[in-house]
Structure 1
């Protein structure tokens, strides 16, 4: 099945990193725009909507009937997402290898999968409430990349154990990792966003 691509592109300051936005379940290409504007008000932004609708909510990949992750569909949809990113980057004369991906929940999950297994995408990532979708195997070494991850200890979706496994996978990759853990749920809080802004300024603007 060929998915129609829904996206939004906002050109910005060419001296700043390009932000690639991947929304959470039920979101769309506008959902993370306020977050992006907080992180980098003048940056170029490319935001891609998840291609699937499941139980009335947009997603980047499907669940199984019992509520688990459909890993076969995940592989298919990751191929779609990679192809879409490359095609949109070419049409707007951008380099996917230099993107900073900003993902939340479902979007952060697929971004983490790509970052850990495909060196051709992203220079950095800000991943809000990401979880590990499957045990990481054949992790590539990416010591030149930076990742910021947040987690809530009261998160009903992402367990402490899952988040620990995800960060362990990133440690194995050699990535420059920063984490923010707080007593909160699955939503993005002002303090959490401020920590992400501090990381963005230090790792991507001041360097």
Structure 2
């Protein structure tokens, strides 16, 4: 879905055509102003909301304009054995990421955040992977975060794992692909989207 945004484990998508009925998927006709409160009320008891619109891009932009905006970047890091670097933050498995600093490029931010949050130093990315969008409430302000995700390969001497505990990270681990579906089942939807794009998980 080209126009979608996540909230915790939910997804809100904007599309031209009505989907076939699916359990846990609510459908709403677009073309009328949306409020954050209305969207939250609908997704409370559903895993997904699809908004049908003659102009999905227009309605998607209008919804995104309800939020304050922040930019972030992070990395999907693999080692020579094909394992993926995960962190455990605030009770969920996650990927290292963080906000862009003033004047910082997304790629530089992603490399910096990986090192700060895990102790792993990567000299360069393997290229941009995907953007994710998710919204949350921060100090009473509804905020929309766009995160730039990059592939990264960790070579020899990349540093020992050192989770950044002051950021709520209690573990940093190299995880084999076979364990990813189980560990990521409780992760935020936007994080699972990164693994879908990278080919580790099936599309939900």
TM-score band by shorter chain is under 0.3
Tell me which structure has the larger Cα radius of gyration. 2
Q: From the two aligned structures, give the one with the greater strand fraction.
A: 2
Tell me the TM-score normalised to structure 2 length: 0.25
Tell me the TM-score normalised to structure 1 length: 0.25
